[in-house]
Chains A and B, each alone.
Chain A
Amino acid sequence: MTKTVFEKSIRSRPVYGELQPRAGGAHLFVADGEGAGAIVDMVARAGSAAAELLEKAHIIYTPGANGTDQFAALERLGAAQCHRSPSFAAAESRLRKVLADAHMGLQVYLAGTETVIGLAQRAAMEAGLPHDAVQTEHRGSLARRVQCVHCKGITESVTTDPFVCSHCGLNLFVRDHYSRRLAAFQGVNIDAEDPGQVPPAVERFK
């Protein structure tokens, strides 16, 4: 399992890199599903610096929405703190506490699906960390978190385009336009001009 390669897109669509070990006073990792592999790979790249990094590391992990659970591999790293949460929602208060308590020099590493990267990045931004001070690496599912521009409801784990808004029931097409504040892509009614003419859904985000 390696990092995801994305097609060229518009400027608001997030881009992801590859986690690199950095010097820091503390290291916070947030990952879901296959994102565990990105952390394991990064620690391997850290070489002789790995031990010191892990002594100051806090890992927060949730299984992927697709069921992938690689927590055991993270536990074997021997980080100072390694926490498994059943979902991101369940982990969020812990994450916000860690960010609020953080001192200068905190390094943040996010890995896994766009949803968890986006939500954790938003929490980091709200805690005052600039978004580009956070490293990200995409692994696993491409399912999207999408805001319906009409009713404002957010539908999680969208894999098809178009899809039906889980709140208002409109048929939405999925744009690449992305809001870091909402941690969501934008969904727009596909049959607004010709009501009822909805093309078949295609699985675009596996």
Chain B
Amino acid sequence: MGFEFNNETFRNDFTFRNSPRAIARFPFPFDRDDYMYSVNMEPHVPGRPGSVFEHAFDVDEHYLAEMRDRALVLKDDPLRCQSLPHMELAGWDLLELIMESKARDYPHWFELHKTGNRWTWINRPMEIEQTFTFLDPSTLPYGPMEYITRQTQGDFTLQDQRDENLWIEAGMVTTQADWSLDFDIGMSFHEWHAPVPLAHEKGVFDRALKFLLKLQHGAPVRRFNWTMTVDPLLDTSPENYPKWGPTKSQITLDNIGKRQHLRVELQTLWRLPRSNAIAFPIRCYLIKFEEIVTQPKWARRLHRVVRDLHPDLAAYKGFLRNRETMVKWLSQYDDGAPTSPGWWPED
């Protein structure tokens, strides 16, 4: 694929960085110069070669480092991965989806061989070779959801569908934008989104739920979400908020380029075939402000989005206190020139 996996950290010395290739393919989430909540879903179909949309599950240069970080989070707090008892079948559905997708899209790294229900999975980057019986959890070292999501970038939740609603009833959540799986597990769609400001009143969640209840197998959809994170910390959990909260007070004009990160979630939604559950991968991409401004269109646009964002959203996303510093620093890179529609940097 023309790149190597980075040896980097998302904690302590924070050696995470994006290569020029990773910057150029970063999923910049703003297709215009302003932002407000919307349902903003589109079919998750293969996109431009080299982009994060090329494959169903993007594997990038941060893969191994992210998997190491996930293992550390789980060691510290096993409650970040939970599955209510009736969700095991959905876990198998997810395992199958990911294994088949990765083996198809990255055959030099991943292989899946099936003889009836006897499957062999090879993950070369992680040096794993596992033979197991599909649908028999005793043949894997973890439950099926935990097994495969310890080998796949991004958080995952599994939603059961019943009573015309979706219920978040399983998940692997170690790279979250400040929400707690342990608290939210078992909730209905509107309940787990309850703390989000403004969007309920706009009917966003009513429309999204209606849409998702009809999601079809084989027709996944995707959307973006985003927030801001100080330092390349994947685990911005509420559980650890007392540990990472103080870093928000350390942002200055001198260090903001290196320490302030735009955090983008590429969210996809998949109907699962056996369980009829919905899988919700939430893939987190981080980029430093100084990396963003190497792309002139993104620099101009991010300045305008942050400057004009509704204050309730800036507060909810947790960067109201640093917004002024962000705008001041970003303004150096905004000459006022118009930006082209869409998020691609070069268009």
Contact = CB atoms under 8 A, between A and B. Distances in A.
Contacts of B184: 179
A25 to B, nearest CB: 23
B164 to A, nearest CB: 12
Interface stretch (B141-149, B220-228, B235-243): B235-243
Interface string B186-219: 1100111111000010000000000000000000
B136 to A, nearest CB: 27
Contacts of A176: 194
Interface stretch (A49-57, A98-106, A144-152): A144-152
B183 A10 contact: no
Contacts of B185: 181
A149 B246 contact: no
B195 A188 contact: no
A182 B185 CA distance: 10
Interface stretch (A38-46, A111-119, A191-199): A191-199
Contacts of A178: 191
B194 A13 contact: yes
A149 B194 contact: no
Given A175-B195, A188-B241, A180 B186 contact: yes
Contacts of A179: 183-184, 186-187
A interface, over-half SS: loop
Contact of B195 (A149, A177, A192): A177
A130 B163 contact: yes
B249 A149 contact: no
A10 B188 CA distance: 13
A149 B183 contact: yes
A193 B249 contact: yes
B200 A149 contact: no
Contacts, number: 67
A141 to B, nearest CB: 23
Interface in B166-197: 180, 182-187, 190-195
A11 B194 contact: yes
Interface residues of B, number: 26
A189 interface: yes
Contacts of B187: 12, 179-181
B241 A150 contact: yes
A147 B183 contact: yes
A91 B200 CA distance: 39
Interface string A1-33: 000000000111100000000000000000000
Contacts of A195: 242, 246
A189 B245 contact: yes
Contact of B248 (A149, A182, A188, A193): A193
B73 interface: no
B97 to A, nearest CB: 27
B194 A10 contact: yes
Interface in B67-84: 79
Contacts of A192: 241-242, 245-246
B305 to A, nearest CB: 23
B160 to A, nearest CB: 14
A193 B242 CA distance: 7
B246 A193 contact: yes
Nearest to B163: A130
Given A189-B245, A193-B245, A194-B249, A11 B183 contact: no
Contacts of A193: 245-246, 248-249, 321
Contacts of A175: 195
Given A12-B194, A177-B194, A179-B187, A152 B79 contact: yes
A179 B200 CA distance: 19
Contact of B191 (A12, A130, A182): A12
A188 B194 CA distance: 16
Given A130-B163, A170-B242, A193-B249, A186 B183 contact: yes
Interface string B118-139: 0000000000000000000000
A170 B241 CA distance: 12
14 contacts: A10-B194, A11-B191, A11-B194, A11-B200, A12-B190, A13-B194, A130-B163, A175-B195, A177-B183, A177-B195, A179-B184, A188-B238, A192-B242, A193-B321
Given A177-B195, A181-B185, A188-B241, 19 more contacts: A11-B190, A11-B193, A13-B194, A130-B163, A147-B183, A149-B239, A152-B182, A175-B195, A176-B194, A177-B183, A186-B180, A188-B238, A189-B245, A192-B242, A192-B245, A192-B246, A193-B246, A193-B321, A194-B246
